[in-house]
Amino acid sequence: MATYKSTVGTAVVNYAGNYPGAVDGELWFDSTNVDFKYQYANVTAAGSWRTGNAMNTARYLLTGCGIQTAALGFAGFSSPPDVWQATTESYNGTSWTEVNDLNDARYGAAGAGTQTSALCSGGQGSPGSAVANVEKWNGSNWTEVTALNTARSNTTAAGADNTSVLVFGGGPPDVAVTESYNGTNWTEVGDLNTARRQLGGSGIQTSALAYGGASPIKASTESWNGSAWTSVSNLNDGRTAPASSIGSSNTNALAVGGESPGYVGVTESWDGTSWTEVADLATGRAALGGAGTNTLGLAYGGSAPAVNGLTEEWTGAGAPVGAWATGGSLNDSRNGVGGAGSSPSAALAFGGSSPPYTGNTELYDGSSWTEVNNLNTARETLAGMGVATAALAAGGASPVKNETEIWNGTNWTEVNNLNEARYVLAGAGITTAGLAYAGYSGTPGTGSVNLTELWNGTNWTEVNDLNRPEGSVGAGGGIQTSALYMGGEEDPGAVPTNCESWNGTNWTEVNNINTGRKGLSGTGPDNTASLISAGRNPPTVYANTETWNGASWSEQNDLNNARYAVGGSGNSNTAALTFGGFNPSRTGATEEWSVPSTTIKVLTD
């Protein structure tokens, strides 16, 4: 009989606990728990769309290229009033920025390449004739290069960069003409089998896909192998004007949106053999731009029929997802604890109620907490900011406090107080540039406050307030010039879903969190990326986790233990820590968030 050793070449590892060196699918024996175990990666089971920040210029019949985190959108048509667009915008995974315009405004052009090396070919110029003009983008500017042999609009393209592009289809009248560009000249190559315009296209010069189009509305799909087009399986939903440029080859594509004949959000994924319907766009539309692949895609702009600049981000099945793993418990179980730290392996927990109110401080090294020197003033529901070796603690209770202390990695030292005493406030930043905001005031009768104060390393200064008073442990996170505030409690006890973004000067209301709650934890580097977890909206206590991409909140895998009045640390939405809290009693439980993540399975008898 074959053994694991003879087949794989090694014996099963014997390890006391979970084996940190295990690779996906590797079996080991946990001698502590007397179990055989293995692990596998956590990935998405199905694809989904998520809202991103809108383009600066709403338009349709635009084109684009690139990947989800580095895309380009250019050309198009805006109405009303009718404007042929030369506008070019660059997407960094969070927001769009206007860059240098095309030399010739047009719509219905073909786009291909990357964010730094793109080609815009053909289209319909003002006041309405098809053009053969081609422009090359070098990451900064557009330059006119050799024109197409056949002028056309409502065409599409495939290409890896601005030196290797394939343009195919278009009209009027409908054409099957295909042209190949080598960085200098265009050469006519094998025609499409079916002439069409307003088709979708994606891939590279030697491996491309053409799908959908008009007229009439088509479902036919053709695959290009570098020399000829071959008819392959049809779209499930025939349509015209789907997004182009979402796909890396003739075996990887995403057909998104279009008209069939109404405006649709239908999304289909191509695997090289057949199309499979997956999750729809949130907003059905046609003549939109696209970028990326069928795993990580981007759709933007379009008409529904109103012209829009909406952006949606696609994550396909099999993409890495985050999960919470159990870490070492606090030595002192408590709620209302402050937190600071840059990663799950370097965090600081201070203050809280255990009871009584405590100044206990503990340092986390990625596996266990160690007690270090205490705060000078015991308190709970205080704000924390900074890292494990340099932190700031501000405010808290009880009674309501304005004391501020700074941690140097060894000791806490009292420094200048907040201008307004308060507790259950939020914090962001570092020891030389901090931000404290919201909370409950120590002034009788004022209740929730919307105050914001900046710390410069020496003093606190009041700056512009939040738009609304959200007092009871809303979550914060970020830096002094770029922060977020989420959830909380408003007088007289309402628990909102509101979220506000700070740009260093003012607070702006942005898209709400999905689950309103107070007593939650928030972490993140700035106002474009955040993670929230835990909280409550009496009588419900939550384990819910959500991430922010700069535009919208998305539900993620829950905490293992629902609780509220927790502490948190971390400067990203892919690696963070949640610790302490209450439910149904005080806890020292610590959980570590990571993306990507793994699940460990135990083999049962």
d(CA 231, CA 569): 54
Per-residue tokens: 520 = 């939650």
Per-residue tokens: 226 = 């570098």
Task: Let me know the angle formed at the C-alpha of 86 by 84 and 90, rounded to the nearest 5 degrees.
Answer: 130
Question: How many helices and strands (H and E) does the chain possess?
Answer: 1, 59
The CA-atom distances, in angstroms, between 518 and each of 79, 358, 493 are 44, 22, 10
d(CA 36, CA 509): 50
d(CA 388, CA 301): 44
User: Which pLDDT does position 1 carry in this prediction?
Assistant: 43
Top CATH class of 48-315 equals: mainly beta
The CA-atom distances, in angstroms, between 564 and each of 7, 52, 160, 488, 581 are 49, 29, 49, 12, 5
- Which residues have CB under 8 Å from 242's CB, separation 6+? 199, 200, 211, 212, 255, 256, 257, 258, 286, 288
- Which residues have CB under 8 Å from 46's CB, separation 6+? 278, 279, 317
User: Which pLDDT does position 408 carry in this prediction?
Assistant: 98
Top CATH class of 328-598 equals: mainly beta
Q: What is the DSSP letter of 517?
A: -
In the block, tokens 């779209």 appear at 235
Residue 292: which of 314, 309, 308 has the closest Cα? 314
Burial bucket for residue 50 (CB in 10 Å: 0-12, 13-18, 19+): middle
d(CA 160, CA 212): 22
Answer yes or no: same fold for 48-315 and 328-598. Answer: yes
d(CA 114, CA 92): 12
The predicted-structure confidence for 33-74, as pLDDT tens digits, reads as follows 899 989 889 888 899 999 999 999 999 999 999 999 999 999
Q: Which letter, b or e, does each residue of 273-294 get, where b requires 16 or more Cβ atoms within 10 Å of its Cβ?
A: eebeebbebebbbbbbbbbbbb
- What is the distance, to the nearest Å, from the Cα of residue 194 to the centroid of all Cα atoms in its chain? 39
- Which residues have CB under 8 Å from 445's CB, separation 6+? none
484 within 8 A of 499, measured Cβ to Cβ: yes
d(CA 438, CA 415): 21
SS (H, E, C) 300-359: EEEECCCEEEEEEEEECCCCECCEEEECCCCCCCCECCEEEEEECCEEEEECCECCCECC
Q: Domain locations in the chain?
A: 4-41, 48-315, 328-598
Low-confidence residues of the chain: pLDDT under 70:
1-10, 442-446, 470-472, 605
The predicted-structure confidence for 350-400, as pLDDT tens digits, reads as follows 999 998 999 999 999 999 999 999 999 999 999 999 999 999 999 999 899
User: Which pLDDT does position 489 carry in this prediction?
Assistant: 87
User: Which pLDDT does position 446 carry in this prediction?
Assistant: 63
pTM comes to 0.87
d(CA 92, CA 67): 9
User: Which pLDDT does position 324 carry in this prediction?
Assistant: 96
User: Which pLDDT does position 448 carry in this prediction?
Assistant: 78
The predicted-structure confidence for 430-485, as pLDDT tens digits, reads as follows 999 999 999 988 666 567 789 999 999 999 999 999 998 766 678 999 999 999 99
User: Which pLDDT does position 2 carry in this prediction?
Assistant: 52
Residue 195: which of 170, 212, 217, 219 has the closest Cα? 170
Residue 192: which of 206, 213, 178, 212 has the closest Cα? 178
Burial bucket for residue 356 (CB in 10 Å: 0-12, 13-18, 19+): exposed
Residue 271's Cβ-side half-sphere holds a number of Cα atoms within 13 Å equal to: 8
**φ/ψ (deg, to 5) at 55:** -65, 160
Q: How many Cβ atoms are within 10 Å of 89's Cβ, its own excluded?
A: 23
User: Which pLDDT does position 6 carry in this prediction?
Assistant: 53
Residue 564: which of 547, 548, 594, 544 has the closest Cα? 544
d(CA 8, CA 6): 6
